[in-house]
Amino acid sequence: MTVDLTELTFADASLMVDLALLARRLRAHGRAIMLRGPQPQIQTLIEIVGIHTLPGVELQSSRPTGAWPARRAAV
């Protein structure tokens, strides 16, 4: 199953829980989940929570895993 995250601009812990539960249910049936195209802030959240490390979860992104986005300088 592919979850297209390309248009998602905000996510919180409830989405991370839902993704983890979905991955668990799919894995129980021998299937996997692909998280495709998350925005940088969504990918960072996925990485902090560790969703991408769960069995049966693949993160497909243009940014390498662990390559945190640069922070903007405070003005």
At 30-61, the pLDDT tens digits run 999 999 999 999 999 999 999 999 999 999 98
d(CA 50, CA 19): 11
pLDDT band at 62 (very low <50, low <70, confident <90, very high): confident
Q: Which residues contact 22 (CB under 8 A, 6 or more apart)?
A: 1, 3, 33
Number of domains, the chain: 1
The answer to whether residue 38 sits within a structural domain is: yes
Range of the domain at 19: 2-60
Q: Please state, for a pLDDT cut of 90, what percent of the chain lies above it.
A: 80
57-60: strand order across its sheet: 2-4, 33-36, 57-60
The answer to whether residue 68 sits within a structural domain is: no
Report yes or no on whether pTM surpasses 0.85: no
